[in-house]
Chains A and B, each alone.
Chain A
């Protein structure tokens, strides 16, 4: 079964600094990978997804992620953090178990942005 590990439950950056949120997945089969963002008391919003093709995926709000098969990683980056980026970020991978599978999430990384 698939599993997702997010390194660092809390990341703090200054406004304008690089954002790097780390995600590793476990499955040996080609993964479908996703990043979601969650603001307080809200549901999850899709930032970006990797299915096939280009390994550098661009998403909303200036975020991008790179799929690296050799490292089983899908790290999320943004060149310059904005105060509005403060939220919790979840990496997810499709789990092929069961009848059709479902989405498996990491434990999340809370991003704080200092002025």
Chain B
């Protein structure tokens, strides 16, 4: 169990630029989640995949956000035309199937939009 890996750890970008984050889940986990965390708040659900299928998207996930999980392995989260309000920690988590399966989180990607 090598844990959930996220890259990059930090990203600074100018408003209007596109950014892409990568998440490598625990290998035997078929579920993968993306969350966003802003200062002083708990993580907020964005979207999740079961294998390669994106099964749910939050209303927080505007049209500028897109997530993929090709072949059911790693996942990418892309933000187009970034805005200052996108500045946050983006957390990836993975789990096995089932309500009682806890989510295992990566260390996150901190995005700063200037």
Contact = CB atoms under 8 A, between A and B. Distances in A.
B107 interface: yes
B33 interface: yes
Interface residues of A, number: 30
B102 A49 contact: yes
Given A106-B42, A107-B42, A51 B100 contact: yes
B45 A102 contact: yes
Interface in A72-95: 90, 92, 94-95
B34 to A, nearest CB: 10
- Top 5 A-B pairs, shortest CB-CB distance: A105-B42, A43-B105, A51-B100, A44-B105, A98-B56
Interface of B: 4, 6, 33, 40-45, 48, 50, 55-56, 91, 93, 99-100, 102-108, 110
